[in-house]
Chain A
Amino acid sequence: MSGVEYISPGTVAEAISALQAAGGNGRLLAGGTDLLVQMRGGRAKPKVVIDLKGIPGIAAIREEAGGFIIGAAASGALIGEHEGLRKAWPGVVEAANLIGSTQVQGRASLGGNLCNASPAADSVPALIAAGAICVIAGPNGQREAPVETIQSGPGKTTLGKDEVLMAFKLPKRPAHSGDAYLRLIPRTEMDIAVVGAAVSVTLDAPGKCISARVSIGAVAPTALLVETAGSALVGSSFDDVALANLEAAVAVACKPISDKRGTIEYRTKVAAVLARRAALIARDRAQGSDRAQGAAS
């Protein structure tokens, strides 16, 4: 009976070497709120656990060129307490803060949420809608990739075996911008999304939508960027026709399964409803009204 080796590297280079040395038996640990549960339940059996939190900056948030760099291991609690982030990206923050309980929030991270690659991950649609970019370190240096290119299926990512997700870059926010994330859970908290939808919009001064990104979760093997749904909003003032077009585009994009959490019909219908509601909250936030802060479905 062999135990599990725990390594806490102090640099990303050490983390990458450790990952290479583990030869496929290593797992990266950020908050551990998924990995440790999987290990305890026997679903993950790594021989080496590499804790990333000792790498400088990986668990921090900083502002850069008017935008934000959120460390891959920054906790939900830290994200929720960041004034600037809450103001600029309320949708990303509310999605991050929906993960788990208050206690879990002290550990759960955006990097873990993305790399665990659950189709129902709450923060992923919000990050996709926000246009967030992943900063990824590998043996040959750093690369960048949009969040929507990372998940490739349930539990699978496009990251190389020796790559480490370091941070998310959120761009500078133009004026009159807002985002929102909504999910459907049967309870009020401590639950997993049956459907999730995130919308990020930018308006012109009179209130017309000049850009929009829509992402949906738990309705396909990965969270989806629905470009047609975003296009449905652009040029509109969120009138009924535009919202109906948004709903139709979302419904078409849904490729859900029927399982213990919901049926194909239910998920498709509710994804459209949540996308519409999220769009209206994002619009209100873009217009400076914050009445829907933290709203659940």
Chain B
Amino acid sequence: MSDGNQPPVDFKVVGQRPIRPDGVDKVTGRAQFGADFHLPGMLTGRIKRSPHAHARIVSIDASAAEKLPGVKAIVTGVDLDVGAGGDIEAGEHAAAMKDVAANVLAGDKVFYQGHAVAAVAATSPEVAAEALDLIVVTYEILPHVIDVDEAMMPGAPVLHDDMYTKGVTPKPAKPSNVAQRHVMGRGDVKAAFASAGVVIEGRYTTAAVHQGYIEPHACVASWGADGQSTIWCSSQGQFLVRAMTARILNLPLSDLKVIPAEIGGGFGGKTTVYLEPVALALSRKCGRPVKLVMSREEVFLASGPTSGASMDIKLAATKDGKITAAEMELRYQAGAFAGSPVNLGCMTAFACYDVENLALVGLDVVSNRPKVAAYRAPGAPMAAFAVESAIDDLARKLDMDPIDLRILNAVKDGAKTVYGATVRYSAFIETLEAVKAHPHYKAKLKPGQARGVAAGFWFNIGGESSAAVHVDEDGGATVVSSNPDIGGSRASMAMMAAETLGLPIERVRCTIADTTSIGFSGSTGGSRVTFATGMAVVEAAQKVVADLKRRAAQTWECDIAHVEWRDGVATCLDPSKNVKPLSMKVLASKSAKTGGPIAAEVSLNAQGAAAGYGVHVCDLEIDAETGRTTVVRYTAAQDVGRAIHPAYVEGQLQGGAAQGVGWALNEEYVYNKQGLLDNASFLDYRMPVASDLPMIDTILVEAKPNPRHPYGAKGVGEVPIVPPLAAVSNAVSALVGKRMTALPLSPVSVLAAMGKG
């Protein structure tokens, strides 16, 4: 449900809710996902993984496996050739290619249970499985460390003997598990705390959680005899898969074509590679296509969850509730290799608020866990959990309404963020006010229920994108997008093209191109596609319109300034000409006579992405005898700029809220004493099921359309996972009667906190 904002009358398509163009294929099973491709002669690949949390690989003996009939290729880390390494920009993060290579197939050490050690390609799954058993890996088991705080302690097992903490001067004398120390801040924090009317303090922890996409990683790779190769895979970016795979195998980009499959969810977790370089290395060895598909257990063990975090926070405020200073140290698990999103945690922590004095330290810490990957607003939800819990404490201490307190401190346009950007086109205050005015916030709670409120921020990004618009000979149009469609972008691309061309949405189709069929694009991530790729689509459509007008002017022999384009029809405004309007259909059918095919491709680097702000309200109750929590009502409000397809925007808000509630209540990676993952399945890794949640109500705040986008779009996919952790926890804390500081808030931990466990 939206807040009643109607699409402006001058839009005919934008703001409507047409059916999903990929919907029928997906509900009938016709859609082709990563595991659905088959090629003649294709082999089954399997990966042998480490049974240990931390070990040195003494030797790998594959001789018996090689002799097994049906085994066609075996590869290990020595088959990769990452050369000088270096970083690749992967959307919201830079990926160090030496680490990515050592993650897809281990070098001389394994750093976590499930770390890939070797791979086989064989004529059947049974032969591949038997071959894995025949590969003998001799390990020297090393002491391991799982917990982020323990990994930082003196005497902790050090994973990488060449890891000297970056961001510290002078360079530390000894290697450690702290990959980097990020420092951000401004003002005089010490003085502000000295004169504070109220001080709030807390230490918070969150567990590592997985994106939980329904489709496990899958790919088919085929090495050509001439050295030109093709990969079919499910990912968030075919260009990123190409870049990483080519780098890891030392291939020119033009020799590798990546064809995107449908993707069954990614949430950031498919912005890197695990299988593709391995499948291609196997195919290179044997000359046959190789398919690799992860099991769910492999997804949990060996693909990236996001960081668990440990954080200390301290707020200073006046007695009236104005926050004057904040200090925060964030310690994020990076997994086996450097690169947690802790810097993004620091940047987003206070981005909703205008705080004069800030001191933030972020520590990127490695431990014997799978390397983290991006997950929806990477780094922000954990930081927001601590900040929004502390603000809830402040509201309780001052007996202030939690929304009024946030309005008092809310950031406004023109303010400087701690990371240097200036706030523009923000509607955070409008979003807070929309929540305050909503029936949910005014509804009385039943006995035994409590309400939690929390806010959240995400930057949203633009960046490099390409798109093409082709006018078909019958006057319809095809949009060629460079980004895999995860959240309904085929619909929004087609809608923006239809709006610009003046066509009904049914006459515009959108396709996702492979790496050879459209210009480069960054990945589907950072909530960038509707903004950046959408901008390329609109610009391409505008070029097409300009071309159509030129052709009409040429036909009429009039000045192009006298041609008006409206609703897919060119009209001559020159009063001296007595001519009939020319429709798209007529112009398209005569294109040969006016200059040939009508099409345009635009590649751009989109600037001006506007940040998004969300405010969530959660009502819940607790079974006081079992500690079990039930969410009874939930509303998510968000500053969305303008919703191109409001139903999909609402879906993003609902999906983010659902994932955030799972993060708050039950999801966690559980390790045993041997450092092995104890719950690598959906049975014991507890994401919410549909019946766990009420219908999540949404409020789309369209008060500030983004003026830097042709239709006012802001990214919307990531903000909604930022507030739920604290929205849930603030309600649980109110019921338990004390501040809950450690996620997840499972029945066991809640009952213990109530003093009854």
Chain A interfacial positions (CB closer than 8 Å to B): 1, 3, 41, 184, 186-192, 194, 259-263, 265-266, 269-270, 273-274, 297
A194 touches B130 (CB 8 A): no
Q: List 14 A-B contacts (CB under 8 A).
A: A1-B124, A1-B130, A184-B628, A184-B747, A186-B747, A187-B691, A189-B689, A192-B684, A260-B679, A266-B627, A266-B751, A269-B751, A273-B625, A297-B623
A266 touches B679 (CB 8 A): no
Q: How far is the CA of A211 from the CA of B748 in the complex (A)?
A: 33
Query: Which A residues are in CB contact (< 8 Å) with B688?
Result: 187
Any A CB within 8 A of the CB of B561: no
Cβ proximity bits B676-704 to A, threshold 8 Å, 1 near / 0 not = 00110001101011011000000000000
In-complex Cβ contact of B625 among A190, A265, A270 (8 A): A270
Q: How far is the CA of A41 from the CA of B70 in the complex (A)?
A: 22
Query: Which A residues are in CB contact (< 8 Å) with B678?
Result: 259-260
**Chief secondary structure at chain A's binding surface:** loop
| Shortest distance from the beta carbon of A112 to any chain B beta carbon, whole Å | 17
In-complex Cβ contact of B684 among A184, A260, A270 (8 A): A260
A187 touches B623 (CB 8 A): no
Query: Which A residues are in CB contact (< 8 Å) with B752?
Result: 263, 265-266
In-complex Cβ contact of A188 among B127, B684, B691, B756 (8 A): B691
Number of residues from B at the complex interface, CB < 8 A:
30
B626 touches A273 (CB 8 A): yes
Query: Which B residues are in CB contact (< 8 Å) with A190?
Result: 689
In-complex Cβ contact of B689 among A187, A259, A274, A297 (8 A): A187
Q: How far is the CA of A134 from the CA of B209 in the complex (A)?
A: 43
A1 touches B126 (CB 8 A): yes
Chain B interfacial positions (CB closer than 8 Å to A): 70, 124, 126-127, 130, 297, 623, 625-628, 665-666, 670, 678-679, 683-684, 686, 688-689, 691-692, 746-748, 751-752, 756-757
B689 touches A188 (CB 8 A): yes
Whose C-beta in chain A lies nearest to the C-beta of B296? A41
A269-B757, A297-B623 are contacts. A186–B628 as well, Cβ < 8 Å?
Answer: yes
- A194-B747, A273-B626 given; name 19 further pairs at CB < 8 Å: A1-B70, A1-B130, A186-B665, A186-B686, A187-B666, A187-B686, A188-B691, A189-B691, A191-B683, A260-B678, A260-B679, A260-B684, A262-B748, A263-B748, A266-B748, A266-B751, A269-B757, A270-B625, A297-B628
Whose C-beta in chain B lies nearest to the C-beta of A261? B684
A1 touches B127 (CB 8 A): yes
Q: How far is the CA of A5 from the CA of B49 in the complex (A)?
A: 29
Query: Which A residues are in CB contact (< 8 Å) with B626?
Result: 184, 270, 273-274, 297
Whose C-beta in chain B lies nearest to the C-beta of A274? B626
Query: Which B residues are in CB contact (< 8 Å) with A188?
Result: 689, 691-692
| Shortest distance from the beta carbon of B692 to any chain A beta carbon, whole Å | 5
Q: How far is the CA of A259 from the CA of B679 in the complex (A)?
A: 11
Query: Which B residues are in CB contact (< 8 Å) with A186?
Result: 628, 665-666, 686, 746-747
Query: Which A residues are in CB contact (< 8 Å) with B130?
Result: 1
B692 touches A263 (CB 8 A): no
Query: Which B residues are in CB contact (< 8 Å) with A261?
Result: 684
Query: Which B residues are in CB contact (< 8 Å) with A266?
Result: 627, 747-748, 751-752, 757
Query: Which A residues are in CB contact (< 8 Å) with B748?
Result: 262-263, 266
Query: Which A residues are in CB contact (< 8 Å) with B686?
Result: 186-187, 191
Whose C-beta in chain B lies nearest to the C-beta of A192? B683
| Shortest distance from the beta carbon of B519 to any chain A beta carbon, whole Å | 43
| Shortest distance from the beta carbon of B502 to any chain A beta carbon, whole Å | 47
Q: How far is the CA of A273 from the CA of B683 in the complex (A)?
A: 24
A260 touches B670 (CB 8 A): yes
In-complex Cβ contact of A3 among B126, B625, B665 (8 A): B126
Whose C-beta in chain A lies nearest to the C-beta of B671? A260
Q: How far is the CA of A41 from the CA of B680 in the complex (A)?
A: 12
Whose C-beta in chain A lies nearest to the C-beta of B670? A260
